[in-house]
Chains A and B, each alone.
Chain A
Amino acid sequence: MNQTSSEAIKELLYKMADDLLIIGHRNSEWTGLGPILEEDISFSSMAQDKIGQAQALYQLLNDLGEQEPDTVAFTRNANQFHNAQLVELPNGEYDFSLVRHFLYDHADQLRFEALANSSYEPLAKVARKVKGELKYHVFHANTWMVKLGSANEESHNRMQAAFNEAWNYALGMFEKSSFEDQLIAEGVFEGEETLQEKWLANITPYLIKAGIEIPASTSWNPVFGGRIGNHTANLSPLVEEMSEVFRFDPTAEW
């Protein structure tokens, strides 16, 4: 692997790992607060998977010469994170958390499915394991999306409103990297544009079943910036909270 490839792969790994860490953190905030115990438990399971997946990707970064996973995850400042802004938004009510989960996990499942065939074998190996876990996350999201989108007027209105709120942020997940062409050419990753097309095709049937409408494409306005460290005001407090104890003594074993 040449120098440029290594930088391109690192960038890809950082954005994926940061997405997973932050959405995992948000999912874990449902602990003790879910609308029913079973959902409390589901969000906790997904949080554990996400955080574990993030750790695996930070480990790949460590293999490429970056610092230890704990150091990378628990000592950076918000502007050093490459996650899409979608994942850092507060949980809000259960409707927003579910919609975000639906939009994010569909994209993530496709991303990892594509990466299972990546020319970068260490990532392909992780992706083959992760996609098996994501199958259940997507199944969970689809079930709830369809159920709450169409159960009664209140649940429908809530889900549609949450969907409208999340939509442009969700499009922001597909912000292109400056290494995009190279990653595609070298067979590392199929690229954000292809991913977004597949994602739209995958989510649409569930949205139809749920009775949820996608805003007209003329009004689409993707919220980019997350991949280059531009974030909403929500990320900084999250990162500070996450690293609060670790930063007491970053050299200590905890």
Chain B
Amino acid sequence: MYGNAYIDPNEKANLILAEEDPQKLAEFEARIDRGEKIEPKDWMPKEYRKQLIRMIEQHAHSEIIGALPEGTWITRAPGFKRKLALMAKVQDEVGHAQLLYSAAETLGKSREAMINDLITGKSKYSNVFNYPAFTWADACVIAWLIDAGAIINQVANAKGSYGPYCRALDRICTEESFHLKYGHDNVVTLATGSSIQRDMVQGALIRWWPPIMHFFGPSDKISQHTEILMKWKVKMASNDDMRQQFLDMYVPKIWDLGLSIPDPLLKKNTATNKWEYTEPDWDEFKRVINGDGPCNAERLAVRRHAEEHGRWVREALNNVGSKYIVPLA
């Protein structure tokens, strides 16, 4: 599951573009306009490659980091049905990371280099995973609404221009649609269950609403430099459009369950046909994405631990064909 690529507002895409061969660039853009897919060995502008690597890599990192808050609840899931389903769901997420790292590798960056950039904090991952899943209900709300948001983003990006990423996304979206059903079923069970269960899920929704609103990225008003990415079909929908789509699809479902959303301004303006809401706290978003969220340090520490403790296994695998013989005493 994944939100939207975080674009550093200080990047100077247009300067880099000036170095490209204008004819090749024009042919490349014409192919994209015709709806053709760009494949790994095709010519592409440096900036296209760079932005795609950044985006697919962020997506892949989000899948493995996203396995952590939900993974915590595998060992606590109540009953066989939930335990089995949650294991399968989180396994899917790790599988998505595998697919995505492979897609990004077609652009020339190795999985190892990407994971190194993750654990050193150089590359980002979806901000939502820097928040804790306090209760079982948090894991259920994540599975429903965060995955719902991810589907909106990924269905859009699956129509993008880079072949390997689109194909990975097609498969990912199919699996995510099961996650969505799983999450929805969990939330319905809690919302229609005992008063303890209801309180649990309402509490989780209150905690998760701000990260969900952040999920699609900063408002178009403050998000810069996306024009060229939209033109190249790297980014397929604007942050605000996706947020609107999410609200349209899920707010009525949440309200149907009798749950309240912690935003007094949230309503659909029938004249504009758009949702109105309290502007999310984008300062907090930036603070968290730059490392100062409730779980940033913990998430990276867990990942670093896994990398360090698994190094000997990877080194042993690299020893293709060699066989260690225990020396005779």
Contacts and interface: CB of A to CB of B under 8 A. Distances in A.
A33 B301 CA distance: 11
A74 B313 CA distance: 35
Interface residues of A, number: 49
Interface string B62-96: 00100110010111111110111001101100110
A37 B76 contact: no
Given A28-B87, A44-B91, A254-B189, A241 B309 contact: no
B87 A152 contact: no
Interface stretch (B227-235, B267-275, B317-325): B317-325
A211 to B, nearest CB: 5
Interface stretch (B45-53, B190-198, B205-213): B190-198
B91 A41 contact: yes
A242 B75 contact: yes
B79 A28 contact: no
Contacts of B87: 28, 31, 44, 47-48, 51
Interface string A146-186: 01101111111010000000000000000000000000000
A45 B74 CA distance: 13
B136 interface: yes
Interface in A214-244: 238, 241-242, 244
B75 A241 contact: yes
B68 A94 contact: no
Contacts of B309: 35, 93-94
A94 B314 CA distance: 11
Given A32-B64, A32-B67, A45-B91, A155 B313 contact: yes
Contacts of A45: 91
A37 B102 CA distance: 12
A254 B76 CA distance: 12
A211 B328 CA distance: 12
Contact of B78 (A37, A69, A246): A246
B79 A246 contact: yes
B319 A151 contact: yes
Contacts of A238: 75
B295 to A, nearest CB: 13
A154 B313 CA distance: 9
Interface string A180-224: 000000000000000000000000000000010000000000000
Contact of B197 (A38, A70, A252): A252
A66 to B, nearest CB: 15
What's the dominant secondary structure at chain B's contact region? helix
Contacts of B88: 44, 48
B310 interface: yes
B315 interface: yes
B161 to A, nearest CB: 26
B98 A249 contact: no
Interface string B17-42: 00000000000000000000000000
B68 A32 contact: yes
A55 B312 CA distance: 35
B324 A156 contact: yes
A208 B313 CA distance: 20
B97 A150 contact: no
B80 A151 contact: no
Contact of A32 (B94, B196, B316): B94
A244 B194 CA distance: 17
B319 A152 contact: yes
A113 interface: no
A29 interface: yes
B80 A55 contact: yes
Interface string A1-45: 000000000000000000000000100110111111111110011
B215 interface: no
B324 A211 contact: yes
B329 interface: no
Given A35-B310, A155-B316, A48 B91 contact: yes
A245 interface: yes
Given A74-B79, A245-B78, A248-B196, A35 B314 contact: yes
Contact of A38 (B84, B98, B189, B302): B98
A191 to B, nearest CB: 30
Contact of B312 (A40, A48, A155, A211): A155
Contacts of A152: 315-316, 319, 322, 324
A70 B306 CA distance: 32
Contact of A155 (B73, B136, B197, B324): B324
A231 to B, nearest CB: 17
Interface centre among A69, A148, A245 (most CB of B within 10 A): A245
Given A45-B91, A254-B82, A211 B193 contact: no
A242 B76 contact: yes
Given A93-B309, A249-B196, 8 more contacts: A33-B302, A40-B94, A41-B98, A44-B88, A47-B87, A51-B84, A55-B84, A151-B319
12 contacts: A25-B75, A29-B74, A32-B67, A35-B306, A35-B312, A35-B314, A48-B91, A156-B326, A158-B312, A242-B75, A248-B196, A249-B197
3 closest A-B pairs by beta carbon, nearest first, are A35-B310, A151-B316, A35-B313
